[in-house]
Structure 1
Amino acid sequence: MPAIFDRLFRGHRTDSRILIFFLATAASAFLSLRLGSEIMEGESFAIDRVVLEGLRTSADRAIPIGPYWVEQAMRDITALGGVTILTLLTALTAAYLLASRKAGTALFLIAAIAGGAIVSSILKAGYARPRPELVPHLVEVHSTSFPSGHAMNSAITYLTLGVLLARSETDRRVRIFLMSVAIGLTLTIGMSRVYLGVHWPSDVVAGWCVGACWAALCSLAARALQRSRTIEQPTEKH
């Protein structure tokens, strides 16, 4: 079995392996969640309900579990997946790439992240799933629920940026660190949406899955464009 995986991942960079592993994990978790939701007591999305209710105190569903500062921390964390922060981060990274004379990579980055945001909006409009009303929302929301835009767009943005930054590093440990930070931010932002009561867990896991898939496709596209010299080559090639 190890020999099979060695042949499967041979030629892939460390950051690509981590991204593929995260995508596979997110996809498996989503399928497990859907199946579990449908078979528990014959009630659709039963796990969703259990998780949301479990994150609130039994005496008052408007009060989340944990110390008082956790709620504020979750509000701050969830902002990292908002449109304003992600747009600003993308713009600053693109400006850095332009200053580094990597205009092709900058344009690719903008197109990849903007394209993912459009896909997210289309999916939301297509499913039109209402927000959970099982518990009071702790932040204001206006759009539909499935998939979670914060989870999906943060996966697209942070994972894509993580891959691009990792490819500019020669130290394997630094590449692992960058991809770990990107995945950690993506997971934490998604979990904050459930804690704040504005998304079902299945919304968030679906957002992770689709966002990671989009980032993986963009990574493959970037690699192909680099090989054809359409965009700039990474610092190191394997």
Structure 2
Amino acid sequence: MEEEKKKAAFPALLLIIGLAVASFFIWLFAELAEELLENELRKFDETIIGFFNSVANSALDMFFLIITELGSVRFLTALSVLALLLLWFKAKDKWGILFFVIAVGGGSLLTLLLKNLYDRRRPSINESIDAVGYSFPSGHSMGSLLFYGFIGYFAVRSRLKKRVKVLILIILAALVVLIGTSRIYLGAHFPSDVIAGYIAGTIWLILCLLALEWAQWQSGSHVRPVQVMRRFLVSSFQSTKKRIRR
């Protein structure tokens, strides 16, 4: 019993911490959405958009046009297919495949749902940079965070050297930030749209990674956390009753 509790302690703690972090980001998103509905984000958005307009030039135009494509539906779909093929034929990671699909595919559906829920108009419409439809939250920001975030997770779980893992994470994080920045610079989104996309993406990514870790732990261990926790609570309750009777 004690051994089982020890083995179940870490995944249970990981689950609790992950859910706590996800809850915090849910609160952040709710606060941001409330500010949007009350039209209190205008000054914040206008200040940042004004800054980008002041530094705009042809070189930055070209740079951000390339960067924004790295977060487009077309590009991420192609990379997702490649990632799935590698997971299937090389890594043989069935759980990784399942939750990668849930993260990326489910994230796309969640983005569509939120966009239609908040019904915010874009700063400008430009079909050549996927700037159509509703604006809040940014699909590029959310999609890139989910995709590149999951790739970062696979890198961390790989057998690569630590410094290589750190370098990969830094590159991926910088890429996600640049993709969000490109959406503001190109006039496709308000800054608050991009922030909301990052927050929503973080929530969904955390939940998917928690589910993946839990599934992998369950399939690789004879210990069943739910059963262990139930027995632990029952034994604790019975011990408490005995102390009270004494």
Q: Tell me the TM-score normalised to structure 1 length.
A: 0.72
Cα deviation for residue 35 of structure 1 reads 9.8
**Which residues of structure 1 form unaligned runs of 5+?**
1-10, 13-18, 58-64, 231-238
Q: Secondary structure at the match of 2:187?
A: coil
In structure 2, relative to structure 1, the CA distance for the partners of 1:103 and 1:31 (3 Å cut) is: closer
One of 52, 57, 62 as aligned partner of 1:55: 52
- Residue identity in the other structure for 1:82: S
In structure 2, relative to structure 1, the CA distance for the partners of 1:68 and 1:126 (3 Å cut) is: same
The alignment status of 1:191 with 2:193, answered yes or no, reads: no
- Residue identity in the other structure for 2:197: G
Equivalenced residue count is 203
Quote the residue 2:203 is aligned against.
213
Q: How does 1:91-170 map to 2 (within 5 A)?
A: 91-100=81-90, 101-133=92-124, 139=129, 141-170=131-160
One of 201, 223, 229 as aligned partner of 2:219: 229
One of 69, 74, 80 as aligned partner of 2:64: 74
Residues 157-178 of structure 1 show CA distances to partners (whole Å, capped at 9, x for unaligned) of 1101210222013532222222
Residues 180-233 of structure 1 show CA distances to partners (whole Å, capped at 9, x for unaligned) of 222211111000000001100000001011101211111111111111127xxx
| Higher relative helix content | 2
**Which residues of structure 2 form unaligned runs of 5+?**
1-9, 12-17, 221-246
- Residue identity in the other structure for 1:130: R
Q: Which has the larger radius of gyration?
A: 2
Cα deviation for residue 23 of structure 1 reads 8.2
In structure 2, relative to structure 1, the CA distance for the partners of 1:26 and 1:182 (3 Å cut) is: farther
Structure 1 residue runs of 4+, over 6 Å off?
22-39
Cα deviation for residue 155 of structure 1 reads 0.6
Quote the residue 2:244 is aligned against.
none
Maintained 8 Å contact 1:156/1:215: yes
Percent identity over the alignment is 30
